[in-house]
Amino acid sequence: MKTISYNDMEFVLDKTASGWEITRKQAGGASAVVAAGLFADLPDGEAEVRAEALVKTVFPVGIKSVGPDVAHPNMVGDLKIVGPDVSHPNFIYWNKDSTSFAK
């Protein structure tokens, strides 16, 4: 079993009978399964490296899920601008995102 801290989160990599399991520690001591049954045919060291890489793919730093924020329309006078609300704290501009408006 190996514990890794990453992106303000803690993950546990654990070898089980059916392969490697990744769990994410949650507030209050609970944990959630990220993946199970992985890399059963790999040597332990390689499986750990790949599990750690997988964690970083699933929980990347700097990208959060932000869709068109139509619940927070911008008003300019009487004009209602519907689309991503760039002033919303969860909005991160992504210039290849098909749902982002050009700046």
Partner 1 sequence: MEIKGSVVLVTGGGNGIGEAVAKYFSKRGAKVAIVDMVQKNIDRVVKEIKEAGGEVIGVQANVTSEAETAKFIKATLEAFGKINVAVASAGIIRDGTMLTLDKETGKVSRKMGLDKWQPVIDVNLTGTFLTLRDAAEAMVNGGWEGLLVPISSVNKVGQIGQLNYSSTKVADALMPKIIIGEFLMRGIKNIRCVGIAPGYTATPMLTGMNQDALKAILEDVHIGRLVEPDEIAAMIGHCVENGALNATTIEITGGLCNSKGIAK
**Among residues 15, 25, 48, 50, which is the contact residue for partner 1, using CB under 8 A?**
50
Residue 88 sits in the site that holds partner 1 (CB under 8 A): no
Q: Which H or E run includes 80? A: strand 79-81
How many residues of this chain bind partner 1 (CB under 8 A)?
32
CA-based end-to-end distance of the chain = 46
Q: Return the amino acid letter for 23.
A: T
* Contact call for residue 53 and partner 1 (CB under 8 A): yes
Question: Cβ of residue 47: shortest distance to partner 1, in angstroms?
Answer: 11
Least CB distance to partner 1 at residue 20 (A): 10
Please choose, from the candidates 22, 99, 20, the residue with its C-alpha nearest in 3D space to the C-alpha of residue 12. 22
Nearest approach, Cβ of residue 28 and partner 1 (Å):
14
According to CB under 8 A, which residues from 11 to 30 bind partner 1? 18-19, 21
Question: Which class for 10: exposed (0-12), middle (13-18), buried (19 or more C-beta within 10 A)?
Answer: middle
Closest approach of partner 1 to the CB of residue 63, in Å: 6
Rounded to whole angstroms, the Cα distance separating 58 from 92 reads: 18
